Amino acid sequence: MDTRYLLLTILGLSLSLSAGCANADQHEDKQNAQEDVEMQSIDYRQIPFTTITGDTARLADFKGKVVLIVNTASKCGFTKQYAGLEELYRDKKDKGFVILGFPANNFKSQEPGTNEEILNFCRINYGVTFPMMAKISVKGDDKHPLFKYLTEQSALPGEISWNFNKFLFDRDGNLVSRYESKVTPDDPELTAQIDKSL
């Protein structure tokens, strides 16, 4: 076979492969951009989630209240914060404050129980009366849509670092502040921001 012909054939195949890869990359970029636009167009207040007893709820259901969302776990060094959260809830609930607990098993499998087991644990050990949600994922490919919005598209983005991260919303459902796990429920900065929002 003519060497020049062989080289031209190889060059043609290389160009075809390069074009195919470029088209695939462009398609993936376009798809990712479309997903970003779709997420931005979603009203996160309308994203449904399930309560620990099986009902459907949305942030919009709590309009008019100051809401603190916490991702929780039963076998974590921060689990004792349940007691402080319950105290905070009882102290301020009559002023229009509510806490929503979202159990998650994303960090070292520290929330292995079923929804029924989690609810019993919270009630028996910490007397929890604030609303608890069904167990979800707050990190990874199976991240719940609400937490996907909070960590990727909200005014305060960033992955959840561990159990008992906290998100505070004002009465209109706007995210106003965010706190790491080490910030306890009685932390002056947190309680001051809650009082300011009430």
Q: What are the residue numbers of the active site? A: 76
Q: Are 104 and 136 in contact (CB under 8 A)?
A: yes
Residue at 10: amino acid letter: I
9's CB contacts (< 8 A; 6+ apart) are: none
Q: Is 158 left (phi over 0), alpha (psi -120 to 50) or beta?
A: left
Quick check: helix, strand or coil at residue 48? coil
Q: Residue 72 phi/psi, 5° resolution? A: -115, 170
Burial class of residue 71 (count of CB atoms within 10 Å of its CB; 0-12, 13-18, 19+): buried
